[in-house]
A and B are shown apart, each in its own frame.
Chain A
Amino acid sequence: MNVTLDYGVLAPVLIPALGAVLVLLVDAVLPRLGRWHWAIAAVLLIAGAAACVPAFLSGSDARRTLCLDATQCLYVADRPGSALQTATLVSAAVVALLVLPVRSPADRTPIASALVLTAASGGAGVAAARDLGSWLVLIELATIPTVALVAFRARRSAVDGALSLLTTSLVSFAVLALGAALWFAATGSALLDGDAVLAAAADPQAKRVLVLAVVLIVAGLGFKLSLVPFHAWTPEAYAGASVPIGAFLAVTSKFAALAALLVVLRGVTVLGAPALQAIAVVAAVSMTLGNVMALRESSALRLLAWSTVAQAGWVILPLATVARGAVRAATGYLLVYGLATIVAFAVVTLVAHAEGRGRVVGLSSYAGLFRRRPLAAVTLAVALLTLAGLPPSVVGLVAKVLALRPVAADGLWWLAIVAAVNAMLGLAVYLRWMLAMAGTPAPDTVDDRPHRLHLALVVLGLLALGVTSVAPQLLLGLAG
Chain B
Amino acid sequence: MVAVLLCAIVVPVVTGALLITGDRFSPAVGALTSWVVAVLGSVVTAACVVLAVWRRPELDHEWVPAIGMRLHLAVDGISAPLLLLTAALGVLVVLHARVEPPTRTGHGTYLGCLLLVTGGAIATFLARDAILFFLAFEIVLVPMWLLIKGFGDPKHRASASAKFVLYTVLGSTLMLVGILGTVYLAGTADIDGLVGGAGLSTTQQTVLAAILLIGLGIKVPLWPLHSWLPAAHTAAPTGGSVLLAGVLLKMGTYGIARLVVPVLPAGVERLAPVVGVLAAVGILWGGLVCLVERSLKRLIAWSSVAHMGFVVLGLMSGTRLGLQAALFGNIAHGIVSALLFFVVGGLKQRWGGDDLAVARASLRDTAPRLGFALVVGMAALLGLPGLAGFWGELLAVASVWNPDGSRPVLLFRVLALAAALGTVLAAGYALRVLRVVWAEGSPAEQAAAPGTPEAAQAPRPAPRPVDADGYEWAVVGVLVLGAVALGVLPTVLLDSTEPAVLHLLEVAAR
Contact = CB atoms under 8 A, between A and B. Distances in A.
B66 A472 contact: yes
Interface residues of B, number: 35
A378 B24 contact: yes
Interface string A418-453: 011101100110010001001000000000000000
B142 interface: yes
A404 B176 contact: yes
A380 to B, nearest CB: 14
Contact of B135 (A328, A385, A397): A397
Contact of A390 (B142, B174, B181): B142
Interface string B18-30: 0000001000000
Interface string B58-70: 0000011111010
A452 B135 CA distance: 36
A424 B170 contact: yes
A397 B63 CA distance: 14
B170 to A, nearest CB: 4
B174 A431 contact: no
Interface in A329-375: 332, 370, 374
A427 B163 CA distance: 12
Contacts of B24: 370, 374, 378
Interface in A456-475: 472-473
A229 interface: no
B181 A408 contact: yes
A473 B67 CA distance: 9
Say whether chain B's binding surface is mostly helix, strand, loop, or mixed. Answer: helix
A411 interface: yes
Contacts of B141: 390-391
Given A401-B131, A405-B67, A477-B66, A385 B142 contact: yes
B211 interface: yes
Nearest to A405: B180
A417 interface: yes
A281 interface: no
Nearest to A399: B67
A413 B66 CA distance: 22
B235 to A, nearest CB: 15
Given A374-B24, A428-B162, A473 B66 contact: yes
Nearest to B65: A473
B66 A419 contact: no
B115 to A, nearest CB: 13
Interface residues of A, number: 39
Contacts of B64: 398, 472-473, 476
A206 interface: no
Contacts of A378: 24
A176 interface: no
Contacts of B120: 391
Contacts of B69: 398, 401
A391 B180 contact: no
B169 A424 contact: yes
Nearest to B142: A390
Contact of A391 (B135, B173, B178, B211): B135
B271 interface: no
A328 B66 contact: yes
Contact of B173 (A419, A435, A472): A419
A43 B302 CA distance: 62
Interface of B: 17, 24, 63-67, 69, 120, 131, 134-135, 138-139, 141-142, 145, 149-150, 162, 165-166, 169-170, 173-174, 176-178, 180-181, 184-185, 207, 211
15 contacts: A328-B66, A391-B141, A397-B138, A405-B67, A408-B177, A408-B181, A408-B184, A409-B184, A413-B177, A413-B211, A416-B181, A419-B173, A420-B173, A421-B170, A476-B66
